[in-house]
Structure formats: structure tokens, C-alpha cells
Chains A and B, each alone.
Chain A
Amino acid sequence: MSGPRALQQPLSLKIGSSAFLIFWCLVAAFPIFWIAVMSFKSPIDAFSSNPLNVIFGPQTRAAGRGLSALDIALGGAVVYAAARLSMGWLGRQVRALAPMGQIWLGWVIGAAAFALGFVIVFFGILPMVLNVLDPLAGPFGRDIIGLTTENYRAVWIDRGFSRNFVNSLIVTTGVVTVSLTVGTLAGYGLARSGSNLAFWLLIVALIFRALPHSVLVAGYLPVFINSAEILRPIMGDAAPTLYGKPFAVIAVLVAINQPFTIWMLRSFFQNIPRELDEAARVDGCSHFQAFRLVIMPVMWPGVITTGLFSFLLGYNDFLVTSLLLDASNQTMVPAIAGMFNRETTTTDQVQAVAAAVSITAPLFLLVMVFQRQIVSGLTAGAVKG
């Protein structure tokens, strides 16, 4: 920056600005941090009125579940080493081993293998080693923080949350793949066509984006419940009841997300110079060949960003999935709503907290890995207007 003296800030402003930032970070992260802490405690500790009890968990510790200073130190060291490895070594390995042009596949496999290895070391080998070391370490081996994974076990195994997880996985994967396939084609078409029709399509899409989802669901619900009878003349006895079917929900979510997807992808495609596909056309490609051979290799940043937002829509949705799916194939977010409706004991509540943290954890990882894409996605829409 130029004019250093004039732009130099008085101390009070600097302090005020930093204080505000610290306050904001606290407000932003605290609720999430706090439910994460609660989820690892026994019910009495988690809902204790003394915050120190929530953090150190005396009841949990008394039940024989806790971490000693040694546990914390070694666990921290493993996590730190894993983080360092994943930043440097993993990238080099992937680049070295992956076949050319398939680098993303290499990343997927590499990340999966790395995650598996981390889980084995952290949850398998480390506890065994520590069980041996703790009695030898004297005062450092005594539990200082109560910590239990009991709530998670109860939620995932006893309450069948893993089934909801699989349903969520099916729905979000479906939503992301279908909406990207359909959306990329449309986004490309809209970006390259300057016609009036394209303009009006975008405007109609903008109106559709503003619609409350419950309005649309009010339209689907009677049709989906009676779809077997409605479709019988066309499809015979094979006519399905769409209510409660994940693929019907995927179709609905894709359609709801479509206006946003095509707006975003269009703005990404507009940033890819027209000359690129014009050159391909001159060389004798058809529009589709130009799209497949020239545009597809350079469009990945936009597609990944849009895919992230489709993922968020499918993953976070409560309204559509809770109305169109029945209890047997419910996704995670509506399932947790059912869990806290019957919150009678504190045990139920802590389990609901653990379920909430389980839902949040993948999103946390997502922000860590894709922070740049999320930011660019948010701004892409705004700059183009």
C-alpha cells in the first residue's frame, strides 16, 4: 500500500478491530465447539450448569473414561503428524503415482487410503499402546479430562443412525451427480447463446429460485402418494409409488437446485474465453465435440464449486426429505429432528448432540479442504450479478 503514514492506523483502531475479530470468531465457532465437547461427556456432565464440569467431565472420569496428560500429548502428536503428512507427503505421492490426466482419481484413492490408515492408527493402535504406557507414566498417566465415545456408539449402532447416514449418502450423491450433469449442459448452452430465449430462461430460473420449497412440496405430495394409480395406465402394474423413494427425492432436489446451478455454472462458463471453442469449431468440431474435448478439461474449478453447493443443498435439506421420505429411509437431518422430539431424558439429549456433531463433522472437513472453492463460488454469483 502506498502512503504508509496516512494509512497507518491509530492504536485504538487496531485494538478495536482485533477485539471485534476475536469476538466474532468466538461467536462463530463457540456453539459448534461446545456441542462437540458436550457430545463426548456423560449426560450429567454434558448438561451441568458449571462450564468447567462440562469441559473436564468429573462424572465421566469417575466412570473410568478419560484421557491422561500422556494420552493428550501422544494423540496430539499423531494428529499433528497426520496433518503434516497430508499436506506435503501425500500430495507428492499422489503426483508421483497417479497416471497422467487422472490426478483427481489419484487424490480420491490417496485420501481414502490415508483416512483409513489414520483411523487404524488413531483408534486401533494408539489406545492399545496407551493402555500399556499409562500405568507406567505415574502422575502423567492419571485421567484429567473425562471423555467417552458411548454417545456416538449409542446413536450410530443402537439407534440405527448409520442407516440414515447411508440414505443421506445416496440422496446427496444422486443430487450432486444429476444436477451437475444436467446443469453443466444448460450452463454452457446459456453462456454461449446470446438469444432472448436464454435471457428469459435465466429470469424464470431466478423466479423459481425464490419459491419457498413447501409450496412445491404441496404440489408433489398428493401426486407422489397416488402415483401408482396415476401412472398405471402408462406403466402397467410396475407403476411405482413415488412417495418414500430416494430417487424421487433426488429428482425433486435436483430440480429445486437447478436454477441456482445454471446461474452459477453460466457465470463460470462466461469466464472461459469464447475463442477456445470457436477455435475448436474452426478445426471442424461440432458443438458437442467442442464441449467435450475443449471445454470439459478446463471447466473443473467451476464444476467442483457448484458441486459443493449442490452437496450442501442435498445434505442440509430438512423440509423436502422429511415430507417425501418415510421413517424407514429417512436421511440424517430429519432423523435427528425426530430424535429430539422425544427428548425426555438427558441421555436422549446427549445422544441427539452426538448425532448433531456427527452430521457437522463432514461439513467441517469440507470447509477445510475446499475453503477456496467455497469462497470463489460465493463471489462468482455476486460479481456477475
Chain B
Amino acid sequence: MKFRTFAIFVGPSVFMMLLFIAFPLISVFKQSFYVTQPVYDQVTVETCTPGFLKQICTSEVKSQPRLDANGAPVTQTRFVGLQSYRNVLEPDRAWAALSRWDLSTLLTIDFWKALRFTVMFTLVTLPLVLVTGLAIAVAVNNATKSLRGPLIFVSLLPFIITPVIGALSIRWLFIGDGIMTAFLEWALGHNISVFANAWAIEALMYFYRVWHVAPFAFVIFYAGLQTVNQDTLESAIIDGASRWQRLRYVVIPHLMPLIVFVSLIHLMDSYRVFDEIVGFASQAYVISLQWLTYDLLTPDDSGTRAISRASASAMLTMIGIVILLIPLLRKTWRDHKSQVH
């Protein structure tokens, strides 16, 4: 294919990605070093109150926003360097807390709180998703042929459901006297209130994510199981391998590329954890990095959006993504090099 034809085919897509992905990235990077604020003028105002014989006049200096001809406040943008990053990271407080090994103080700072949850969320859910997905795949593969279709259908439901709605539906099972709370109260014999405990909410969020992603892992592993070499399995049986050994030494090595694939996708996706925070309304207890940026972008009570702080937090989130991707990129690069030579 000639370069010109290739360019015409790929052009629109590349244009969209440049305009809506690459360009915003650059602009976020720039924004994070600037702050846009309304301009305030120092005005000396003299207020006089009528008094006997002589008026009592006081003059005070007030700052008021400068308005343009249309009555809209004039804003100015100025370069602040790393100030926005400092506002997000609060390095002085963080360092002071760290040097005292006082983690609870460190976790009162929004960014570190969000980072703690995001990293833990990613690391805790990953093995759970892999194990659950694999278990479902093996069990479905074991089931009667006629049952497999309905089983796959039911399994796909948690995956396909809108994430916010999925999180909500699980929340409604537990909220107030919801069925699960009622069940737990009956089983444990005392009153519990799930949504008053930060750890319980967090556990529910882990559970939701595993519930949501396990079907994806299942479908992929299930497809992989169909291509397991039957001869290898048979020779393993002849060699006297137990069921567990066959799974461990034949099936799992065969699935290894798929396990790596699922892990990668899951790492990328769970690092961006966001919908759970909205669905479980957990912002008072648990927040994630992406939610932090989202929160800074939503207008506060006075209607202003903290764009520069949001940009700084977005850039900090990016660093995590880069760290996640480096091993993947290095591997792809090596594969590509070996293909060329």
C-alpha cells in the first residue's frame, strides 16, 4: 500500500486522536503551570455617616473584581510554575507526616488518600479477577454443552451493565435495611450499618469490581481453554498427572499469554477507577485519583472550577500510567526489533 493511500485511510482517525487526545494532553500540561484568576483592584472607598456638626468619614481599601464593558469579570492568567502541583501534593505536610511515620495524617491529604486507594484497588482486585475468571472458565468448560449458552449469558450481565448502575444495584442490596444487610443482621444477631464504615464500603467496591470484570476474564480464558492441546493433556494423564497438576502444568502455561493480556487490561482499567466512587457515593471516605481530577473540574459552590489544580492532578495521574506502561512498551519494542531483524 502506498503511503498516500495509507494516509487517506488512516487520516480521519489520526486527526481525531490528535485533536481530541494529543492536543488536550499538551494543553493540560501547559495549564498545570498557569493559574487563571479574576483581576482584583484595590479601591479606596470613603464611607461617610451623617453625624452632628461633622460627618464621620472612614476610608478603607477594598478589593473588588475588575469588570469589563459587559460587566463580566476580567481574568488574567499568570505563570505560577509548580505552585499547582504543590497545592495538590502538599509536600510540606506530607513530608512532615512521613518523617513521623504518621500515615493517618498523610492520608488526610486528598492526593495521597486517592493514591493509596487507587494503588490498593488495582493490586487487590487483580489476583481476585484472574482467579475468579479462571475458576468460572474451568467450571463452565466442565458443564454440559447445552447449559453453556445460558451460563455465558448470565455471566455476561455484570460485565455489560453500566458501571454506575452496577455499583448502585449492589449498594441498594446493602443500604439501610436492604436484603443483604438484613441477612447479615440475622446471621450475626446484631445491628449493622454497612455504609458507616470506610472499610466496608471499600470492600464492597473491591467486590463490585471483581463482579464486573470477572466475566471478561472468564470469556477470554474460556476461549483459550477450547484450544488446549488435547494430546498434551492425554500424555499428562498417561504420565499419571493429577487433575490439579494438569491444570497447573498444562492448562495454565497454555493460557499464560491470555493471563498477561487480561492483567494488562485490568491494570489500565482499574487504575482509572471512578464509577465506583459515584455509584457507592463514597467520596466522604474513599476517593480515587481520577475522581480527584473530576472533583476539581466540577464547579464548586461559587461556580468556579479549579482548572489548574485539576490539570496538575491529571498530570500526576499520568505519571502512574507511564510507570504502568513502561514494561509493556519495552516488551513490544523488543518484539518489534526481533521481528525486523
- Interface of A toward B, CB cutoff 8 Å: 1-3, 6-7, 9, 13-14, 17-18, 20-21, 24-25, 27-32, 34-35, 38, 47-51, 54, 181-183, 185-186, 188-190, 192-193, 195, 197-199, 201, 203-223, 251-252, 254-256, 258-259, 262, 287, 312, 315-316, 318-319, 323, 333, 336-337, 340-341, 349, 352-353, 356, 359-360, 363-364, 366-368, 371, 374-375, 378-379, 381-383, 385
Query: How far apart are the CA atoms of A195 and B243 in the complex, in Å?
Result: 46
Q: Could you say which of B24, B151, B220, B230 contacts A378, with CB atoms under 8 Å apart?
A: B220
Q: Could you say which of A7, A185, A215, A316 contacts B314, with CB atoms under 8 Å apart?
A: A215
Q: Nearest residue in B to A261 (C-beta to C-beta)? A: B13
A9 touches B142 (CB 8 A): yes
Query: How far apart are the CA atoms of A177 and B26 in the complex, in Å?
Result: 28
Chain B residues whose CB sits within 8 angstroms of the CB of A18 once the complex forms: 139, 143
Chain-A contact segment, one of B38-46, B61-69, B165-173, B192-200? B165-173
Q: Could you say which of B17, B166, B281 contacts A205, with CB atoms under 8 Å apart?
A: B17
14 CB < 8 A contacts A-B? A21-B140, A34-B169, A182-B16, A212-B293, A213-B272, A215-B24, A216-B20, A218-B24, A218-B28, A219-B28, A222-B36, A319-B274, A333-B164, A341-B281
- Interface of B toward A, CB cutoff 8 Å: 1, 3, 5-6, 8-10, 12-14, 16-17, 19-28, 31, 36, 135-136, 138-140, 142-143, 149, 151-158, 160-166, 168-170, 172-173, 176-179, 182, 211, 215-216, 219-220, 223-224, 230, 234, 237, 243, 257-258, 261-262, 268, 271-272, 274-275, 278, 281, 289-291, 293-294, 297-298, 305, 307, 310-311, 314-315, 317-318, 321, 324-325, 328-329, 332, 336
Q: Could you say which of B179, B215, B328 contacts A34, with CB atoms under 8 Å apart?
A: B179
Query: How far apart are the CA atoms of A96 and B6 in the complex, in Å?
Result: 41
Chain B residues whose CB sits within 8 angstroms of the CB of A193 once the complex forms: 1, 6
Most buried by A among B3, B14, B172: B172
Chain B residues whose CB sits within 8 angstroms of the CB of A216 once the complex forms: 20-21, 24-25, 28
A375 touches B152 (CB 8 A): yes
Chain A residues whose CB sits within 8 angstroms of the CB of B294 once the complex forms: 214, 217, 319, 323
A28 touches B157 (CB 8 A): yes
B10 touches A201 (CB 8 A): yes
B289 touches A212 (CB 8 A): yes
Given A32-B169, A197-B6, CB of A211 within 8 Å of CB of B157 = no
B215 touches A21 (CB 8 A): no
Chain A residues whose CB sits within 8 angstroms of the CB of B157 once the complex forms: 28-29, 32, 364, 367
Chain A residues whose CB sits within 8 angstroms of the CB of B158 once the complex forms: 28, 32
Given A214-B274, A356-B168, CB of A27 within 8 Å of CB of B178 = no
Q: Nearest residue in A to B240 (C-beta to C-beta)? A: A6
Given A203-B332, A363-B160, CB of A255 within 8 Å of CB of B19 = yes
Given A182-B12, A255-B20, CB of A21 within 8 Å of CB of B152 = no
Chain A residues whose CB sits within 8 angstroms of the CB of B262 once the complex forms: 382
Chain A residues whose CB sits within 8 angstroms of the CB of B274 once the complex forms: 212-214, 318-319
Q: Nearest residue in B to A358 (C-beta to C-beta)? A: B165
Q: Could you say which of B135, B170, B172, B223 contacts A379, with CB atoms under 8 Å apart?
A: B223
B154 touches A28 (CB 8 A): yes
Chain B residues whose CB sits within 8 angstroms of the CB of A217 once the complex forms: 293-294, 297
Most buried by A among B173, B215, B289, B314: B314
Query: How far apart are the CA atoms of A258 and B223 in the complex, in Å?
Result: 25
Question: When A and B form their complex, which 8 residue pairs have the shortest distance between CB atoms, in order from nearest?
Answer: A219-B24, A189-B9, A255-B20, A186-B13, A49-B177, A214-B293, A379-B223, A215-B314
Chain A residues whose CB sits within 8 angstroms of the CB of B140 once the complex forms: 21
A51 touches B12 (CB 8 A): no
Query: How far apart are the CA atoms of A366 and B156 in the complex, in Å?
Result: 11
B9 touches A356 (CB 8 A): no
A385 touches B261 (CB 8 A): yes
Question: Closest approach, in angstroms, between the C-beta of B324 and any C-beta of chain A?
Answer: 7
Chain B residues whose CB sits within 8 angstroms of the CB of A221 once the complex forms: 297, 305, 307
Q: Nearest residue in A to B216 (C-beta to C-beta)? A: A378
Q: Could you say which of A9, A189, A256, A336 contacts B10, with CB atoms under 8 Å apart?
A: A189
Query: How far apart are the CA atoms of A35 and B175 in the complex, in Å?
Result: 12
Query: How far apart are the CA atoms of A49 and B176 in the complex, in Å?
Result: 9
B219 touches A379 (CB 8 A): yes
Chain B residues whose CB sits within 8 angstroms of the CB of A183 once the complex forms: 13
Query: How far apart are the CA atoms of A222 and B178 in the complex, in Å?
Result: 42
Chain B residues whose CB sits within 8 angstroms of the CB of A25 once the complex forms: 151, 154-155
